[in-house]
Chain A
Amino acid sequence: MTLALAVDIGLAVLVLAVAGWTVVIRDTFAAVIGFVVYGLLLALIWVRLAAPDVALTEAAMGSGLTGLLLLGAAARLRSAKNIPAPPGLALRWVAGVLCALVSAGLAAIVLLLPDPAPTLAPAAVAHLPVTGLGNPVTGVLLAYRAIDTLLEAVVLLPALLGVWSLAPDRYWGGAPRLRHPRPDGALTLLAQALPPFGIIVGVYLCWNGADQPGGAFQGAAVLAAMWALILMAGLADAPPVSRRWLRVLLVAGSVVFLAIGLAGIGFADAFLAYPAGYAKPLILTIELALTLSIAVALGLLIAGPPAKTLS
C-alpha cells in the first residue's frame, strides 16, 4: 500500500465518520460545526481527485459560506421562542430512507460506470483555444454551459428575497444588523488588518479563473467574507436594503451576463454565444460583473433580514 493510498483511505474514513456524526448528533450547534469540518475534508478529497476548482468552491461556498448561514440559523433558533415540536419518528424514518436511497442510487451509478467512464473532457480541452481561456473548468462554466452559470447567478437573487421577506413589517427596507454584541480589540484589529489581504485574494481568484483554478464564485465568497468581518466588528454598518445603488450592484452581474448572451443572438448566431475573437474579453467582463454582484448578494445573505427601521 502506497503512502498516497493510505492518506486517501484515511480521508475517506474520516469524511464518512464526520458525516455520520453530523447526522446523529442532537445539538444543532455541534451539527453545524460537524458540517463545516465535513466540507473542509471534502475539499481535501477534491484536491486529491485533482479537481482544485471544485475544492475551492467547496471550501469557500459549501463549507465556509453555507456553514456561516447555518451558524446564524442555529443562533436564531437558540434564542427563538415557540419552537415547534420536532418531526415524529415516522417522518424521520421516511426522510432517512429517502436520503439513503439517493445515496445508494448515486453510489450505484458511480460503481456501474463502464471502464473507461464516458467523458467529454478531451472535447472540452480540444476546443478551449477558441475561447482564449486556459482553464477548461472556466471554459465549461462560461462558454460551453454558460446557461447553467447564468441560472446559478440569478438564483441568488430569489434566495436573498427569501431572506429579506423574513423581516418584520416595521423593518422593511431597512438595514440588516450583523454587529457582534460587544466587538472588542482583537476582532476590530482583525477586521482592520485582514480585508486588504482578503480583497487581493478575492480579486486574484476571480482574475486568475480564466487560466487557473478560481473564478467568480470563489473570489466573491472571499470578498463577502471580508465584508461580513467588517460588519461584525462594527467598523461599518450594512446599507439599508432599499438603497438604489445596492439593488443595481445586486443585479449588475446577471444583467451584464444576459445582455452579452442576448447580443450573441445577433453577433454569433446563438443565445450566450460569443463572436469569434471576442470570447475572452467578454468572458472576463462577465466574470468581473458576476464577482461584484455575487459578493454583494452573499454578504447580504450572511447579514440576514433587515433589522433596523429605515430612517
Chain B
Amino acid sequence: MSIALDLFTILAVVAGAFFFLAGTVGLLRFPDPLTRLHALTKADNLGLGLVVIGLLPQVAWPLGAIKLIAVWLIALFAATTVSQLMARAARDGGSTP
C-alpha cells in the first residue's frame, strides 16, 4: 500500500513539475503578455495542484492535508487576481509589457 502511495506521489509530482516546465517555456517563448499569462496560469493551476495532490498521501491527516490544500487555494486566488490586473494593465497600456 505504501509503495502504491509513493508511486502515486512520484507520478503526480512529476506531472506537476512538467506543467511548471511547460508554463515556464510558454512564459519565455510566447509573443505577447496575454498569451504569456495564459501559459503561467497552467503552472499555477495544474502544476501546483498536481504537486499538492501528490504530496497529500505523505503528510499527516488531517491538519497537514488541510494546510497543503489551503496553500493551493490561496495561491490560486492570488494568482487569478494578479493575472486579471496584469492583463488589464497590458490591454490599457498597449501590448508592450
Contacts and interface: CB of A to CB of B under 8 A. Distances in A.
Do the two shown chains form a genuine complex with each other? yes
Interface of A: 180, 184, 186-187, 189-190, 193-194, 197
Contacts of B70: 197
A187 B74 contact: no
11 contacts: A184-B84, A186-B81, A186-B85, A187-B81, A187-B84, A189-B81, A190-B77, A190-B78, A193-B77, A194-B77, A197-B70
B85 A194 contact: no
A186 B84 contact: yes
A190 B81 contact: yes
A254 B70 CA distance: 35
**Interface residue SS majority, chain A:** helix
Nearest to A185: B84
A190 B84 CA distance: 11
B80 interface: yes
Contacts of B84: 184, 186-187
A186 B81 CA distance: 5
Nearest to A233: B81
B29 interface: no
B77 A184 contact: no
A224 to B, nearest CB: 16
A187 B77 CA distance: 10
Interface string B65-97: 000001000100110110011001000000000
A186 B77 CA distance: 9
- Looking at B70, B80, B85, the one whose CB has the most chain A CB atoms below 10 A away is B85
A190 B85 CA distance: 12
B85 A197 contact: no
Nearest to B88: A184
Contacts of B85: 180, 184, 186-187
A186 B80 contact: yes
- Looking at B77, B78, B80, the one whose CB has the most chain A CB atoms below 10 A away is B77
Nearest to A190: B81
Contact of B74 (A184, A189, A197): A197
Interface string B47-66: 00000000000000000000
Contacts of A194: 74, 77-78
A197 to B, nearest CB: 7
A130 to B, nearest CB: 31
A116 B74 CA distance: 43
A17 B70 CA distance: 32
Contacts of B88: 184
Contacts of A180: 85
A184 B84 CA distance: 9
A187 B82 CA distance: 8
A24 to B, nearest CB: 19
B72 to A, nearest CB: 13
Contacts of A193: 77
A184 B92 CA distance: 14
The 9 closest A-B pairs by CB, nearest first: A186-B84, A190-B81, A186-B81, A187-B81, A187-B85, A190-B77, A186-B80, A194-B77, A184-B88
A203 to B, nearest CB: 16
Interface string B12-37: 00000000000000000000000000
Nearest to B83: A186
A197 B77 CA distance: 12
